[in-house]
Amino acid sequence: NDHVYEALLIRKDSDDFDFEPHTVLKEPVIIDVIKKSGMLYQYAKLKEDKPRKNKDVFKRPPADPDDMVSRPAVVTVMGHVDHGKTSLLDTLRKTSVAAGEAGGITQHIGAFSVKLPSMEVITFLDTPGHAAFSAMRARGAHVTDIVVLVVAADDGVMGQTIESIHHATHSQVPIIVAINKIDKSDADPDFTKKDLLAHGVHIEELGGDIQAVEISAVQGTNVDVLTEAIAAQAEMMELKADVKGFVEGTILESRLDKGQGPIATVLVQRGTLKKGCVLVAGTSRCKVRGMFNEHRQPLKIALPSTPVEITGWKGLPSAGEEMLQVETEKKAKEVTDWRIVEKKEKLLSEEKEIIQLKAEEQKAAHTQKMMERSKLHWKEYHRLQVDKNKKLMEEQKDRNDPVLNVILKGDVDGSMEALLNMFHTYNCHDLCDLQLAHWGVGMVTIKDIEMAQMFNGIVYGFNVTVHPEAQILARKEGVTIKLHKVIYKLLDDLKDDLSSKLPLKE
């Protein structure tokens, strides 16, 4: 079609797919050239018998439970807009600063850890709402151990509350409810609890197994009770991780810093992250140059469930992408190069598919249009023929001009259209007039024979059969039926019939 071209080019024997225009290539390969809106994309596909070596890197199989050690819980705060997620995270972050770890202000890095008086640590993902959770889920990343569902006691269960419940349930992540804004005069925690029950959240107080804590995020009331409830839930879950071997983690956030280049907040989930570790995430790679916590304090190591900001990236990784450690920078480049090519090919094949789909759609639309047009054409044609036939019937009574009357039956619309178009050319025969007395799609019927009888015509059938009754009638009335399966043979036959009608030359 107009958009997709296949060309055979010659290329040099190398694994590199990118080539400059006019490159001299020695080995023939299929190059798909896709031209779309003036842009030319090119890519080379290696010969089928020489599949590319998979250079990707994958997660290791799960470690032996005996080799694993306890790790902090990773918590996401979710809930309806304005119910107090940001306020709660702010209060919790202040707790983290107050815990004395830092000498200053907490930075927003996408996550932070809180140390409880009991010395337990909880990691909060500081990207409240669904966007973060959905992005992670869409990438198949599983980073959250517990969801804190914030519900404002003056508002009750709302749209995004229900969505959050669904998110948590589908991901099989336990929920802890924070009934917020209890300081407000119109707060009705009891109603909120019943409301939650009606939406499948069975809280302990009402005989279920989900913890609910009444809090005021802005005043800080019961926020410590909430963190204790989280710690209790975490303890029950016996969260563990393997701290040995290659690091595995997830990208939580990334940004481009003017001075330091790409920076990503990552959550370590396995192994121990150190300066100098070589990582890959999506098509980006990193040799860890600097590692910081949310207080901008440099860290020497980061254990599982620790969120850290790291510098040293080549490329900007995306939230939700899996981060894996590899042996060397060379290996990291190999992996990301391989992924870049894979991504390019995937995009191209998707694009090709879209172009093909569009072409098919266009073709279908064209066919539809043609059919409608030909129907119109046929209708018009038919009306004209009926008028002409009537006139002719009358005229023929008076004149003796040779006329060949034809009844035409075809198998499908398409072949009828083709035949009718060809009949037009014979219609202007100056010596013998070709009259299409009647035509239609389908088998030859009694009606066709009757028409032939009336006009003293011949029945032509293309790829059709004759109804037995019509056969009998035709034989009885002496009507000729000619069946053909090849258009030009039908036309030859027709020409012969026309000639036979011509007056003998003087």
Residues in contact with ligand GDP by the rule CB under 6 A: 79, 81-87, 128, 180-181, 183-184, 216-218
**In degrees, to the nearest 5, what angle opens at C-alpha 432 toward C-alphas 447 and 388?**
50
Looking at beta carbons only, is 54 or 185 nearer to ligand GDP?
185
**In degrees, to the nearest 5, what angle opens at C-alpha 206 toward C-alphas 202 and 212?**
65
Distance CA 134, CA 138 (A): 6
Q: How far is the CB of 44 from ligand GDP (least distance, A)?
A: 50
Local structure of 276: helix, strand or coil: coil
Contact by Cβ (8 Å): 304, 260 = no
Least Cα distance to 425 among 374, 498, 335 occurs for 498
Q: How far is the CB of 149 from ligand GDP (least distance, A)?
A: 11
Which residue, chain included where needed, has tokens 């609910």? 212
Looking at beta carbons only, is 49 or 186 nearer to ligand GDP?
186
Q: How far is the CB of 226 from ligand GDP (least distance, A)?
A: 12
For the chain, count helices (H), then strands (E): 10, 23
Q: Parallel, antiparallel, or unpaired for β 403-410 and 458-462?
A: parallel
Q: How far is the CB of 192 from ligand GDP (least distance, A)?
A: 13
Distance CA 22, CA 42 (A): 13
Q: Residue 105, Cβ neighbours under 10 Å: how many?
A: 10
Local structure of 300: helix, strand or coil: coil
Which residue, chain included where needed, has tokens 């090849």? 486
Q: How far is the CB of 308 from ligand GDP (least distance, A)?
A: 25
Looking at beta carbons only, is 87 or 389 nearer to ligand GDP?
87
Q: At what angle do helices 130-138 and 159-170 cross, to 10 degrees?
A: 30
Q: Residue 40, Cβ neighbours under 10 Å: how many?
A: 10
Beta strands in 258-402 (DSSP E): 261-270, 273-274, 278-281, 284-292, 301-302, 307-314, 322-326
Distance CA 303, CA 306 (A): 6
Looking at beta carbons only, is 180 or 283 nearer to ligand GDP?
180
Looking at beta carbons only, is 80 or 467 nearer to ligand GDP?
80
Looking at beta carbons only, is 79 or 312 nearer to ligand GDP?
79
Q: How far is the CB of 164 from ligand GDP (least distance, A)?
A: 11
Looking at beta carbons only, is 78 or 434 nearer to ligand GDP?
78
Looking at beta carbons only, is 79 or 320 nearer to ligand GDP?
79
Looking at beta carbons only, is 183 or 345 nearer to ligand GDP?
183
Q: How far is the CB of 181 from ligand GDP (least distance, A)?
A: 4
Local structure of 467: helix, strand or coil: coil
Residue 19 is classified by DSSP as -
The pair of three-digit structure tokens given for residue 214, joined into one six-digit string: 């009444």
* Burial of 150 from C-beta contacts in 10 A (0-12 / 13-18 / 19+): buried
Q: Residue 104, Cβ neighbours under 10 Å: how many?
A: 9
Looking at beta carbons only, is 68 or 187 nearer to ligand GDP?
187
Which residue, chain included where needed, has tokens 């299409």? 436
Q: How far is the CB of 166 from ligand GDP (least distance, A)?
A: 18
Which residue, chain included where needed, has tokens 């269960």? 157
Looking at beta carbons only, is 184 or 482 nearer to ligand GDP?
184
